[in-house]
Amino acid sequence: MAKCEISVNSIKVHAFHGCHPQERVVGGEFYVTISAQVEVAASAWREDQLEGTADYSRFVSITEREMGKPSNLLEHVAARIASAVLEECPTVIKVSVTIEKENPPFGVSCQGVSVKIEQTR
């Protein structure tokens, strides 16, 4: 066994998260980054077999599914994504999910706001 970190960076999703009614109607752009510590079996690093590691395309499909469920808080969405990664990807032992929201509607000029959640098996 070996350990490695797999990251999928800045998955762009248009979604409808936020506490303000307009956010649920118009939506906004979000960027999700998932970093996972993975136990990699010899079949992956010696024999080039996907079954020995985490399939990061699963990270993308989990992200798209969970981002499609509107929530008030990014913390809630990030925790759902992290929990799903741990549940659906058995080789992942630790996961970090960062969600960045472009143009938050609170009247100040900034590039975005973000939350980061970490969960461990």
Would you call 94 exposed, middle or buried from its count of C-beta atoms within 10 A (0-12, 13-18, 19+)?
Answer: middle
Looking at the chain, the whole-number percentage of residues with pLDDT higher than 70 is: 100
pTM: 0.93
Q: What is the pLDDT of residues 23-38, one digit of tens each?
A: 889 999 999 999 999 9
Q: Compute the distance between CA of residue 38 and CA of residue 95 in angstroms, rounded to an integer.
A: 9
Tokens of 22: 């307009």
Pairing between strand 28-40 and 112-120?
unpaired
Q: What is the mean pLDDT of the chain?
A: 94
User: Residue 116: what pLDDT?
Assistant: 98
Residue that wins the pLDDT comparison between 106 and 102: 102
The domains found in the chain, sorted by start residue, are 2-120 (3.30.1130.10)
